[in-house]
Structure 1
Amino acid sequence: MPLATATAELDIDAPDYLVRLEAGKHALVGDEGLHEGGQDRGPAPFAFVLSGLVACTAATLRMYMQKKAWPVGHIGVSADLHVDRDGSQYIRRTVRVDAQLEQAQRKRLAEICERTPVTLFIKRGTRIETKMLGE
C-alpha cells in the first residue's frame, strides 16, 4: 500500500502548463511561471517539493515539542532552491521557533530538522519506476 498518492491531468485544451492535481483527496493546480511559458496560476513543480519539505519540518517540530512538553510557539519554516555555477543544487532552509526555549532545546530542534521524513527522503534520493500507458 502506498504511503502517499498524487495524480496530474493536463487536458488537451488546457492553457499550456496548467495541471490539475490531486494529492490524496486534495485538489490543487500547478503551473509554470511566466518566464517558463506558463501563466503562474499555481505553484511550479519545485515549489511543491519545497512546500512538502517546509510543511513536514514545521509539523515534525510541533509534534516533537508537544511530545517533550516544551513550550510551544509560532513555527515558521522557509526553503529556497539554489543552483551553483557548477550546476549543483542545494536547498537552504530557515527555521524560526518563537517559544521560550533553552539553547540546548533549540540545538535539539535543529537536529530534528535534519531527520524529518521529507528531509531524509530528499537527502537519500528515491528510485522512480515509470510505466507508460496510452494508445
Structure 2
Amino acid sequence: MAAVITSTPIHYAHSVTVNGHALVVDEPDKLGGKNAGPAPFDLYLASLAACTAITLRMYAERKGWELGEFRAVLRLHFGDDGRPNVHRTLHADGPLDDAQWARLLEVVANTPVTKAMRDGATITSSRGDAAKESA
C-alpha cells in the first residue's frame, strides 16, 4: 500500500495517487489554497467515514441484518489541548432493534481505521532520491 503525492502549478494543490486511484488535495481559500480538492483533515474524516460504513455493512451482512440506507455524519473539532476529536452519528433506515444498534455501536468503536486513529501509528521519514524512487 502506497500513496504518491506530487505538486501541481496551483499553489497548495497536489495530485495524489493511491492504489491506482487519483485525486486532488488542496487547502480552502481561507488558508491560502484554491479549494481544488479536499483538505488533509477532510480526507482524515473521509477515511474514517468509509471504514465505518464498509465495516458496518460487512458486519450486518454476516449477521443477516438489513441496514437499508446507511449514513454516517462525522464532525471534527479540536480540543483546548489541540487534539482532534471526532463524533460519529450513525443512521440506518433498516428495521434494527435497540440490541442490534448497541452491537453496531460496539463494532464501530473498533473498526481498523478507528483503531489506527485512536491508538496512533509509527510514522518515519527519510530523504529520497527523486530520480530513483516512485511508488
- What aligned pairs does 1:15-30 form with structure 2 within 5 A after superposition? 15-30=10-25
- Encode CA deviations 1:49-103: one digit per residue, 9 max, x unaligned: 1101000100100000000011230110121210123423211111111110111
Scaled by the length of structure 1, the TM-score of the pair is 0.91
* 1:45-64 correspondence runs (5 A): 45-64=40-59
- Cα deviation, residue 23, structure 1: 1.3
Q: Distance in 2 between matches of 1:28 and 1:39?
A: 15
Q: 1:78 and 1:24 mapped to 2: Cα distance?
A: 26
Q: Distance in 1 between matches of 2:50 and 2:84?
A: 21
Partner in structure 2 of residue 32 of structure 1: 27
Separation of aligned partners in 1, 2:102 and 2:26: 38
Work out the number of aligned pairs and report it.
130
Runs of 4+ off more than 6 Å: none
TM-score (norm 2): 0.91
Aligned to 1:71, the other structure's residue is in SS state coil
Residue 133 (structure 2) aligns with: none
State, as a whole percentage, how many aligned pairs show the same letter.
37
Question: 1:1-135 maps to which residues of 2 (within 5 A)?
Answer: 4-11=1-8, 14-134=9-129
RMSD over aligned CA atoms reads: 1.3
State the distance in 2 between where 1:50 and 1:88 align.
Answer: 14
What's the secondary structure of 1:27's corresponding residue? strand
Question: 1:86, 1:76 → 2: CA distance?
Answer: 30
CA apart distance, 1:133: 2.1
Where structure 1 has 5 or more consecutive residues not aligned to the other structure, the ranges are none
Counterpart-to-counterpart distance in 1, 2:57 and 2:119: 24
Q: Could you tell me which amino acid in structure 2 is paired with residue 131 of structure 1?
A: S
